[in-house]
Chains A and B, each alone.
Chain A
Amino acid sequence: MKSESLIHAHNISVVKGGKHILKDVSVSIEKNSFKTIIGPNGAGKTMLLHTLLGIEREISGSITRKKNLSIGYVPQHLQVSKDIPLRVVDMLRLYRRPLDVHNNPVIQTFQIDPILNKQMHTLSGGEHQRVLLARALLNNPELLILDEPDQNLDVGGKIALYDIIRSIYQNYGCAILMVSHDIHFVVSSTQEVYCLNNVVCCSGSPQAVKDSREFADLFGQEIAETFAVYHHSIPQHTERETINK
């Protein structure tokens, strides 16, 4: 039996300034799935997320959402302006959400207690992403959409973040759709990859995608090969770190 579909986008096209940002893109997210979108800059990754979220509405094609689907979203560039004196607790409470910050399991898990009264714009990159992730999880979403959550983090921060995302996937029972540039993470953790370059050039299991010609064409043979070499050494955590160095 096929598992329940949360969002199904069929033949989505978005045209901006006479240029196809997305062309006939079809994406389907099922319950408890973990999928990633990879692709070069300007490939329309963020645009695809925006269409799924309903932020971008000038589209052709059809999107079917499960009724009352709750989505947690972490956008790509959320930089709280210094002009706004916004504490972490204000950010978490933002938008129609009475919240007991001191007895909330999500806030405890993400270790946000100690920084609740810090100003958002003074947080480190890792703290910032933790707050945004926690905020997205507060509604118990069925689907978590992450737009390059790993950018602006150093290597250690990235590894910590990936661990958090894996544990979210295991413990919160939500599906995850994520845009990432980190091919290593994509291959070790996700179930299905969409390789996007304005069109979906290939999709499937990470293994199948990395073997495909389209993937090599898109990212260059060299990267495709390191990806392949790397793939054989995933199971050992220690080896991954050696390779990262």
Chain B
Amino acid sequence: MLEFLFWKTLAAAIMIASTTGSLGSFVVWRRMTFFGESLAHSLSLGIALNLLLFSGFQWGLIVVGILFMLAIYGMQKKMLFSGHATALHMIAHTSLAIGILLMYMFSPQSIDLHGLFFGNLLGITFVDLFILGVLTLVTGFFLIFLWKDLLFLSIDANLARAEGVKVGFVNGAFLVLLTTIVVVIIRMTGTLLISTVLVFPSSSARYLAKSPRGMLVYSVCVSVFAVVSGVMYSFYIDVPPIPAVVVVHGVIFLFVFLVYLLRSRLSRRNRQ
């Protein structure tokens, strides 16, 4: 039974890691690193609404996710770039606070702060696995077909538009996909650590890669390696998997960064 739980968790974690690892590069390139965290905090309101109003299907998450996405899209349209960090923080923390208040006011017995913040990767159902599978496939197709457009858009939106990239469509599709992924995995990874799985792999990959494609590949590799080792570790000594995954990410980042520093120092000395 434990073995079954292990494989199920691992499968889910690998799918989460490959989607967030690959899309994470664009999150970093487009300076949207606040996105995951803000959306995750905002979704606390969605989780509260689910508890109070809807039982079963996750309408609360979907509604809050859509509202958040529209807000971001509106901000991007005005600025053409990733939304305002300040505005994002305000939306996120206000929603989080409202969500917590609602839960304490109307349903204090069902509050699960641990689950809210750290997720419940072990409680994954077959439906979850199926949805994750579909999302992974969609992400794959998205990257195959829109890779160049999205890369171009990340480099310079105006130049991309001048050369015929459908900037509005590509950007919209990216936002929808990213929001959907966060909405789906929020209950598995929790709100506190979602931006880690979204941002850390690409940040480490940045120090390894020399080309955009390379960064994406490294990012997925780092991401999958971190979840596999994190999940294995958590089963071995019985701790929640997500913090273990984040620690692995932190160690990888530190290692990669130090190697990078060392190498650039050496090459500078060689040049002198």
Q: Which residues of A contact B (CB under 8 A)?
A: 50, 53-55, 71, 73, 75, 78, 80-81, 83-87, 90-91, 94-96, 119
Contacts and interface: CB of A to CB of B under 8 A. Distances in A.
Interface class of chain A by DSSP: loop
A54, A73, A95: most-surrounded residue (chain B CB, <10 A) = A95
A75 B156 contact: yes
A90 B161 contact: no
A95 B206 contact: no
A73 B159 contact: yes
A91 B209 CA distance: 15
Given A73-B163, A96-B148, A84 B155 contact: yes
Given A75-B156, A96-B148, A85 B162 contact: no
A86 B214 CA distance: 10
Contact of A119 (B148, B158, B162, B210): B210
B211 A86 contact: yes
A53 B157 CA distance: 13
B155 A86 contact: yes
Interface residues of B, number: 24
B267 to A, nearest CB: 13
Contacts of A91: 155
Contacts of B158: 50, 55, 75
B31 A83 contact: yes
B152 A87 contact: no
A20 B209 CA distance: 45
B160 to A, nearest CB: 8
B75 to A, nearest CB: 16
Nearest to B148: A95
B90 to A, nearest CB: 23
Interface of B: 28-29, 31, 148-149, 151-152, 154-156, 158-163, 165, 206, 209-212, 214-215
A202 to B, nearest CB: 28
A78 B159 CA distance: 9
A75 B211 contact: no
A85 B29 CA distance: 10
Contacts of B154: 81, 84
A86 B212 contact: yes
Contacts of A75: 156, 158-159, 162
Nearest to A76: B158
19 contacts: A50-B158, A71-B162, A73-B163, A78-B159, A80-B155, A81-B31, A83-B28, A84-B215, A85-B209, A85-B212, A85-B214, A86-B155, A86-B212, A87-B211, A94-B148, A95-B148, A95-B149, A95-B163, A119-B210
Contact of A95 (B28, B29, B165): B165
Given A50-B158, A55-B161, A94 B152 contact: yes
Contacts of B149: 95
B29 A94 contact: no
A55 B162 contact: yes
B235 to A, nearest CB: 35
A90 B163 CA distance: 16
Contacts of A54: 161-162
Contacts of B163: 73, 95
